[in-house]
């Protein structure tokens, strides 16, 4: 059994779609990044890579590589899934939290869980996603960005 943690943050800007957990969220701003800047999926990918002791997503998918410009992070998570399987592991469980003052994520979490569980080929009950605010403190509280953290337990396959 292996455990890994991941953390990601992206700046909120005008003129971008807000994609979190593979779901497009209605909001006046979106997250800035080389890819689609899906902060939750990036944290999940880093947690899996950490559990496998394989570095981070910047090592595998550098923001200097035009192949990843505006790429859908769900595609990258699929690649991480393939690496995880090649290493002989599967998801035991995954717990995550999104920190944002706005928008509210309550109506989107079930869709996020379904998308992520499908990509990681695991039961939706193995995926936990929560959302919180920072009570108006820090960059999240000032609505300058959104952050996400994830913890994963991987277990040997079969």
Interval 28-49: pLDDT, tens: 999 999 999 999 999 999 999 9
- Domains of the chain, with CATH numbers? 2-156 (3.30.1330.50)
Which stretches of the chain drop beneath a pLDDT of 50? none
58 annotated as belonging to a binding site for a ligand: yes
122 annotated as belonging to a binding site for a ligand: no
> Which residues, other chains included, contact 54 with Cβ-Cβ below 8 Å and sequence gap of 6+?
60, 83, 87
Are 1 and 153 contacting, i.e. CB atoms less than 8 angstroms apart? yes
Strands 89-99 and 30-31: unpaired
* Rounded Cα distance, 81 and 54, in Å: 13
8 annotated as belonging to a binding site for a ligand: yes
pLDDT digits (tens, 9 = 90+) for 43-70: 999 999 999 999 999 999 988 888 888 8
139 annotated as belonging to a binding site for a ligand: yes
User: What pLDDT is recorded for position 67?
Assistant: 86
* Rounded Cα distance, 6 and 12, in Å: 20
φ, ψ of residue 51 to 5 degrees: the values are: -60, -30
Are 115 and 22 contacting, i.e. CB atoms less than 8 angstroms apart? yes
- By CB neighbour count within 10 A (0-12 exposed, 13-18 middle, 19+ buried), where does 55 fall? exposed
61 annotated as belonging to a binding site for a ligand: yes
User: What pLDDT is recorded for position 158?
Assistant: 79
Helix axes 109-119 and 39-51, enclosed angle (nearest 10)? 40
111 annotated as belonging to a binding site for a ligand: no
């Amino acid at each position: 059994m292996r455990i890994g943690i991941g953390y990601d943050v992206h700046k909120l800007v005008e003129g971008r779609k807000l994609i979190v957990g593979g779901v497009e969220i209605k909001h006046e701003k979106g997250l800035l990044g080389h890819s689609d800047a899906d902060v939750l999926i990036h944290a999940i990918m880093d947690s899996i890579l950490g559990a496998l002791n394989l570095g981070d997503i910047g090592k595998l998918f550098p923001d200097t590589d035009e192949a990843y410009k505006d790429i859908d992070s769900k595609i990258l998570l699929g690649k991480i899934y393939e690496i995880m399987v090649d290493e002989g592991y599967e998801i035991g469980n995954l717990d995550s939290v999104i920190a944002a003052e706005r928008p509210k994520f309550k109506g989107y979490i079930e869709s996020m869980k379904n998308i992520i569980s499908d990509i990681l080929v695991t039961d939706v009950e193995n995926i936990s996603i929560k959302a919180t605010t920072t009570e108006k403190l820090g960059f999240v509280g000032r609505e300058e960005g959104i952050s996400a953290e994830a913890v994963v337990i991987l277990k040997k396959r079969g």
